[in-house]
Structure 1
């Protein structure tokens, strides 16, 4: 580790060989070279939309040794770690909160590598390099969203403050996994098992059937249908979608096996669709949409079909996405998530630190309360 170290900023990944990047990034599909490049290539995460790339690249002796996806943000949308109260406090005191620096995968609240390096020392260097860049640019703050545990150690060593959140994840049985979906249901309490069966029966009685399409099984018509559903979900909430049809097409072309479409059909017509991403032994629930309301359709399409797929294909876990206490009754359990923050103004840093201490205590109590209401049968 005594070779000369250099950290510099790039505004795209074009000059970083995908093989070098992916070797360090691992199997998390959201931090792969193709995923991050597609966000920029298709104009979804660019300066115009509030995401100006300032990725940090670490080299040792001229060789690529690490990276940190980093953006200058002009707003707080598409992050899923909410700091609007912090921004309001800055503004009330006549201080500028935006732009801020954010290390994240745009529009993707998924835990994964943010300090992409093989060694702890290099992860700390990247974390400190981001602080130095934030100081040099004279901006308010730096935020690292949904980092891996190994990143948290480095971020703590570099002086960041931690913030705890919660998501709901499903875990397969260690080893061989559940023998079947019925075997999984058998571990649930009577009331929860009955509710899942009732919900599934409603969907079946409505004539809904499901098809799983992965990788090259996904053709252009299936992608078009998914995007219509995705777009419709945003429009129903009076928002324009963050991501374009071109983005999903580019992801499918670059890494087809990372994509799974769960398509619901009724009376010979496609009705609803959920997109899941797969990397290694983990599946990530991302987007869904429907053309018609049917009781239980959302839970079945987004969660139960996902769990059933994981059991059949022996995947270890299913991360159901951001928020949603309602997921617990389907067997997804509360799982802590984290973010890390560095605030340039010492007065605000101290105030936010006190806030985070209190918030963490409340979050831990909330998670303990949720865990007391497990949907599974008590052992013993």
Structure 2
């Protein structure tokens, strides 16, 4: 069966890609990936060279797909392998380029091996030496991808820990608060009251309801979170307009305003089950505004929409005391060099024990009353 390589996802119709089994999250849709490419957020000069793999039947119908990139660095992945690359550099081994199956700049677990992807894996593993690629990495997998990769020789699993808010059928935010310990309930109310006392109000908008001027503000906030740390933003301004064109129904933006003037924003995507908080930014300094905009507003939105989950982004232990529960994430790594594979395997075995122990200990910091979580 033919295996094709795409250097542009627009070389295949959106309906064909989106019909592949596993394209269930907004990040995997043709509209999202094409917006990344056409906006220049990935592609030439970014270190993310598009190399999507497709498996077709004899009539050209799409059977399987992998969102795949040839990486020249490890920026924007959120599964940190800089130490592996540095060890290779010191040993005189080439670590880059490498193949990465992932959604750029998106540490959200989900399907990665779309459809019947085993032949694609076979093809990629066999072709690594000829292509001069050090390895193949698959980041933030779902249980289906875990089962496929866990049954293949040479693949090393890596664990991480993120935080996810679960909706247990709450009627409203107060119903959620009622399930917390008294101290944590008072803390959250105090934080929300501090924001309200500053005269700040919130407005939720869908992607199709924003003007280009409002998208300019969204981007300015997003970019500022990088600039204050002396870094360049991963996404370009054009990405947001392209995404609003192609997937407006999936976009949710909340604006924090005072006197009708926007001060901050949080950008999310939504599907039938989950609200995914992705980007935030503020063009001033306001007490507790980050917690309200990024966490409490999202919880309220998830409850109002009867969504099962709210994923507020990677990392951040401060999420624990606000009701976000630890969950284990997985990535998988196939490394060509035998010495590197042995060394990384030993490291990952120790790291997995530490991550599991951390996640178990983190559950003790959750604010729920006994029996309510």
TM-score norm. by structure 1 comes to 0.94
Equivalent position of 1:19 in the other structure? 15
The structure 2 residue matched to 1:113, chosen from 88, 111, 114, is 111
Equivalent position of 2:167 in the other structure? 172
Measured against aligned partners, the alpha-carbon deviations of 1:70-95 in whole angstroms (never above 9, x if no partner) come to 11111100000000110011011111
Equivalent position of 2:51 in the other structure? 54
- Aligned to 2:371, what secondary structure does the other structure show? coil
The structure 2 residue matched to 1:162, chosen from 157, 161, 177, is 157
Equivalent position of 1:237 in the other structure? 229
Structure 1 residue 328 displacement after superposition = 0.9
Output the CA distance in 1 between the equivalents of 2:130 and 2:157. 23
- Aligned to 2:9, what secondary structure does the other structure show? coil
1:84-103 paired onto structure 2 within 5 Å:
84-103=82-101
Output the CA distance in 1 between the equivalents of 2:170 and 2:349. 39
In the alignment, is the contact (CA less than 8 A) between 2:324 and 2:366 conserved in 1? no
Structure 1 residue 378 displacement after superposition = 0.6
Unaligned regions of 5+ residues in structure 2, if any?
none
Structure 1 residue 132 displacement after superposition = 2.3
Equivalent position of 1:36 in the other structure? 33
- Aligned to 1:378, what secondary structure does the other structure show? coil
Output the CA distance in 1 between the equivalents of 2:306 and 2:7. 39
Equivalent position of 1:74 in the other structure? 72
Output the CA distance in 1 between the equivalents of 2:321 and 2:312. 13
In the alignment, is the contact (CA less than 8 A) between 2:207 and 2:253 conserved in 1? no
Equivalent position of 1:142 in the other structure? 136
Structure 1 residue 158 displacement after superposition = 2.7
Output the CA distance in 1 between the equivalents of 2:364 and 2:240. 39
State the superposition RMSD in angstroms: 1.3
Structure 1 residue 69 displacement after superposition = 0.8
Equivalent position of 1:264 in the other structure? 256
- Aligned to 2:256, what secondary structure does the other structure show? strand
Equivalent position of 2:286 in the other structure? 294
Output the CA distance in 2 between the equivalents of 1:134 and 1:151. 20
Output the CA distance in 2 between the equivalents of 1:170 and 1:95. 42
Indicate whether 1:312 and 2:304 are aligned.
yes
Residue-pair matches, total: 369
Unaligned regions of 5+ residues in structure 1, if any?
none
